[in-house]
Amino acid sequence: MAEPLKFTDANTIIKGAFQPMLCAMTAQDQATFNVEVYAPNGTALLQRRIARVDLLDNSLLEAFICDSRARIERATHERLDWQVRYTRAC
């Protein structure tokens, strides 16, 4: 079974092209999270909501982000070599 996310301190680094992009999760309300992906220059590439019940572990977060791949690639005008790596804030 995949390791559960700790939503209060979950940060995700998406390794795309030559530089990583940051994915931040924040609580929208008791039912949903906001998932935001930023380019290295700080430009917001993606802002989507996901229901808490649909985001139970790291593999589901990865699937959600990869589902958004086409949107991010359109925003950056490039095809990205995707690898999702998880880090935890101290």
Residue 54 makes CB contacts below 8 A (sequence gap 6+) with 60, 64
pLDDT of the chain, 90 residues: tens digit per residue: 444 444 333 445 544 444 456 667 777 677 777 777 776 677 777 778 877 776 666 667 667 776 777 666 776 666 655 544 444 433
Q: What SS3 state is found at 65?
A: helix
Question: Which pLDDT belongs to residue 21?
Answer: 61
CB 53 within 8 A of CB 4: no
pLDDT of residue 87: 42
The domain limits of the chain are 27-88
pLDDT of 51 reads 78
If residue 35 lies in a helix (H) or strand (E), which one and from where to where? strand 32-38
- What is residue 69's three-state secondary structure? helix
Q: Model-level pTM?
A: 0.49
